[in-house]
Structure 1
Amino acid sequence: MEFEEMKSLWTDMSQKVEKQQLLTDKLIIKMTEERYTNKFRKIYGLESLGAVTCLAGAFYILLNIQKLDTWYLLTCGIICLVLLLVLPMITLRSINRTKSLNISQRNVKETLVKFYRAKNELLFTQRLNMYLGILFALVILPVFSKIMNGKDLFIEENINDLWLFIPILLAFLFVMAAWVFRAYKNITTSAENILKELDT
């Protein structure tokens, strides 16, 4: 075998190895992207269901807004409407932004920078939801009491039991919100680890 033939064979083999490596890299990136996206699929579905529930609640309040016949009940009703309409949209947008990170279109460093921005936004949104959820619990009680029972909780005399129930409700909501926040934090940490695997 002459030197030129060996050189040609070596070049062919080298090109095949490079093509194989390129295909392997693309397959690894595709699998990583799929694993990453799957981390957010479940919470996106649950939050979408929650958004539909919030829209139904907002629609119900809107249909019965005329029953809120005092300025403070109307104010509570408007606050409820705003929270029911805005919070789910903000949450879904931040989850979608984090979930739809296009890993194959940029290098690992750029991907991690984009991820950290999206992760921080998502966790900030969840913290905001936690505190606004407590506000929501306080304003929804008088609204639904008036709409469903015709009772104004601010002037009713026989509601002492209800006011005792509010601290228990707030404590329960705080514990639930903290649990949800921890779940989001675990999911984003797991997604971060998937992305860091690409770096190695």
Structure 2
Amino acid sequence: MELEELQSAWTQMSDELNHQKKLTNQIILDMTKQKYQHKFSTITKYETLGAVVCFAVAFFVLLNFDKLDTWYFQICGLLTLSFLIVLPAMVLTTLKRIKNIDILNGSYKENLKFYLKTKNRLLRLQQIGIAVGFIGLLFIVPVTSKIISNKNVFLTSLKTEQYVVFTVTLIVLVFFCRWAYKGYLKVTQSAQELIQELE
């Protein structure tokens, strides 16, 4: 009788340990998923704020598009609108896709493959955004100058202080872009390591 009770107690303890192990594994997986999604929360907030600003400026340009009275200002206006609407929308869409990858479902290989594809798209969009941002100064500045002060910068010679301000702006923009891109690299690498830990 004692042997049967001992076997029954042993089986019950074994079942409880297995149940606890499953619960612990599930808790660890849930925490990993939360950590993964949290990695992109800060970037998403900043990008959303940036997109709202871009959309507001685009709306302002649209409202004042009639002030762009020459063909070259209208082309600059269209380029400005494209830059302010298309790129932020693409970045937000890609961020949503990468943040919402369900790393607990599907195979590890499929999740990692999808993550790497989406990560590369996100980083490529950032590189394009940086490049177009610098080139964009050539069409955004004339548009804003024309709308706000009705000045044609194409026909105006710049003063020394304006060259200095433009140069300082470019230098600050270079450092900011490098800092932001490094942040993207750090976050995406950290998220990738979380997925690889699930293997």
TM-score (norm 1): 0.89
- What amino acid does structure 2 have at the position aligned with 1:86? V
| Structure 1 stretches lacking a partner, 5+ long | none
Preserved CA contact (<8 Å) 1:130 1:178? no
> CA separation in 2, counterparts of 1:171 and 1:53?
22
| Structure 2 stretches lacking a partner, 5+ long | none
Asked if 1:175 corresponds to 2:175, the answer is: yes
* Distance 1:163-1:78 versus aligned 2 partners, 3 A rule: farther
Give the equivalent residue in structure 1 for 2:185: 185
Moved more, 189-198 or 65-74: 189-198
- What amino acid does structure 2 have at the position aligned with 1:37? Q
Identity, % of aligned positions: 38
Instruction: Using the TM superposition, give the Cα deviation of residue 43 of structure 1 relative to its aligned residue in structure 2, in angstroms.
Output: 0.9
Residues 24-60 of structure 1, C-alpha deviation per residue, up to 9 Å, x if partnerless? 1110011111111111111101110111100110011
> CA separation in 1, counterparts of 2:61 and 2:31?
45
Preserved CA contact (<8 Å) 1:44 1:92? yes
Q: How does 1:71-90 map to 2 (within 5 A)?
A: 71-90=71-90
> CA separation in 2, counterparts of 1:9 and 1:104?
34
Instruction: Using the TM superposition, give the Cα deviation of residue 160 of structure 1 relative to its aligned residue in structure 2, in angstroms.
Output: 4.1
> CA separation in 2, counterparts of 1:88 and 1:66?
24
TM-score (norm 2): 0.89
SS at match of 1:104: coil
- What amino acid does structure 2 have at the position aligned with 1:133? G
SS at match of 1:50: helix
- What amino acid does structure 2 have at the position aligned with 1:112? L
- What amino acid does structure 2 have at the position aligned with 1:179? W
Give the equivalent residue in structure 1 for 2:61: 61
* Distance 1:24-1:109 versus aligned 2 partners, 3 A rule: farther
Q: How does 1:1-200 map to 2 (within 5 A)?
A: 1=1, 6-156=6-156, 158-161=157-160, 162=162, 165-199=165-199
- What amino acid does structure 1 have at the position aligned with 2:51? A
- What amino acid does structure 1 have at the position aligned with 2:158? I
> CA separation in 1, counterparts of 2:171 and 2:178?
11
- What amino acid does structure 2 have at the position aligned with 1:47? E
Moved more, 119-128 or 10-19: 10-19
> CA separation in 1, counterparts of 2:108 and 2:14?
26
> CA separation in 1, counterparts of 2:76 and 2:167?
19
Instruction: Using the TM superposition, give the Cα deviation of residue 129 of structure 1 relative to its aligned residue in structure 2, in angstroms.
Output: 0.9
SS at match of 1:171: helix
Instruction: Using the TM superposition, give the Cα deviation of residue 7 of structure 1 relative to its aligned residue in structure 2, in angstroms.
Output: 4.7
- What amino acid does structure 2 have at the position aligned with 1:65? F
Preserved CA contact (<8 Å) 1:145 1:152? yes
